Amino acid sequence: PPGPQGLPLIGNLLQVPTRLAFLKFAEWSKVYGPLTSYTTLGQRVVVISSAKAAGDILDRLSAKTSDRPCFIKTEHLTHNMDFATVNQGAFWRTQRRAAHESLNVHAAKSFFPVQEEESCMLVEGLVRHPEIDIARHLYRYVSSIAWRVIYGHSTIKLEVDEPGVPPDSFFRAFFQATIPGGSIVDIFPFLHPVISRSKFLRRVTSGHLAYMYPGRAMNGTLAPVPSSSMHILLRRCVVFLRRTGPFIAYSSHDPIRWRGCRPSARSSRKRTATALKWFFIAMLLHPQAAVTARSQLDLVVGKRFPTFGDIEHLSYVQAIVKETLRWRPPGPAGLAHVATEDIVYDKFLIPKGTILIPNVWSICRDPALYQDGDTFDPSRFLDDRGNLKPSPADSHDDYLVFGHGRRVCVGKNLAVNMLLIAVAQLLWAFDF
């Protein structure tokens, strides 16, 4: 595919920013089209910027495009414990299937009571403690749901230091490390042995591990507190893994609860909280959207709290959630895939080993799907009668932010439900 001219040896390394790379990719797509090719130190990278190209390459050719690149820094940051970023293999396939058994559309409904209760607590916390930073309220909400569902612990209180508040430094480092050339050890691999022996790096990554696995002792495991939601989740994982093999669930130091069922909920926490922050910004910038949603809530719900039973009748609330994720997608550069075979697409050769970047920012602004993509407009998802329109092809039900092919986020249903109930109750409770 076409792309910008690079320099000898280093290619386009100096042209790809380490921050906000998705904006540079979007700029290139306006010049070179839906596929933009560049190189960094001989590594070929193809950026995908349209929904159709992403659907053709990452969905319909997923058997050839579902591997992950080997980014050294991400392995250090995650201790190679997150199956969302590990390479394909028997372990990845089995763990993903186990997580899907626990978090599919049907299974996610079993967590409705926890999500409704936590959403009510979010509203109450905002009313009672307006002096506390709104980000803390949102992190408490998403972290407490994961804390209860995965570990079976009681709700996280707003007034105490919760284990689930994610360090922004971790996510900045993580997403930067997933951009080809974004880490010095990927640029100069010979530094890997030196850096891996660094006491400073081990101390920093141990801190990150403490966040990813809250409550886990480094020389042992956390004993979860029994709860119905945790039992449901673990039972589904255990039943599936017993069918597929008794030992696949275990790594050298972690049983199933650390490997099979946790990663999807953990990785969605930061993005879900970020999406809720953008929801608040969108409502403040576009108060008429909040007024329209409030009118529908008054008609459907009245004076009681909204519940999941109301969501199907709240089309405008659903449209606001979809538009928030489209307008300001969390993780706008997406997570990279790797082609495991040569691919010919639209007369272009994509060689084996090419890194494929689905630029979510551009895909969510694809004019073939969404006209005037920079404008926040929930009504784009509604017909003349106010009902949700059928989703267009390759739009993933208008939830493109959750990835493609075999790498679609397994926590998608949990995250979408978290957003729907929170947005419904926030719009019901507050004027914007």
**Spans of all domains in the chain:** 13-429
What would the two tokens of residue 175 be? 């997403």
Return the percentage of the chain with pLDDT > 90, whole number.
57
Q: How large is the angle between the packed helices 134-151 and 228-244, nearest 10 degrees?
A: 50
Average pLDDT for 234-239: 53
Q: What's the CA angle centered on 214, arms 212 and 216, to 5 degrees?
A: 105
Distance CA 266, CA 134 (A): 20
Asked if residue 108 lies in contact with residue 413, where contact means CB atoms within 8 angstroms, the answer is: yes
Asked if residue 84 lies in contact with residue 397, where contact means CB atoms within 8 angstroms, the answer is: no
Distance CA 296, CA 315 (A): 8
Single out the residue of 133, 205, 217, 215 nearest to residue 170, CA to CA. Answer: 205
* Strand partners of residue 38: 45
Tokens 């763990």 sit on residue: 95
Distance CA 310, CA 197 (A): 55
Local confidence band at 218 (pLDDT 50, 70, 90 cut-offs): very low
Asked if residue 119 lies in contact with residue 258, where contact means CB atoms within 8 angstroms, the answer is: no
Distance CA 277, CA 208 (A): 23
Per-residue pLDDT tens for 27-43?
A: 999 999 999 999 998 99
Residue numbers belonging to the annotated binding site for heme: 409
Q: Max Cα separation, the chain?
A: 67
pLDDT exceeds cutoff 50 at 264: no
Query: Which pTM was predicted?
Result: 0.82
More confident: 372 or 83: 372
Which H or E element spans position 401?
A: none
The third-level CATH classification (topology) of the domain covering 13-429 is Cytochrome p450 (1.10.630)
Distance CA 64, CA 162 (A): 41
Lowest mean pLDDT among 179-188, 223-232, 307-316: 223-232
Per-residue pLDDT tens for 122-161?
A: 999 999 999 999 999 999 999 899 888 876 778 888 876 5
Provide the total of helices (H) and of strands (E) in the chain, helices listed first. 20, 6
Q: What is the structure's pLDDT at 244?
A: 53
The 3-state DSSP class for residue 384 equals coil
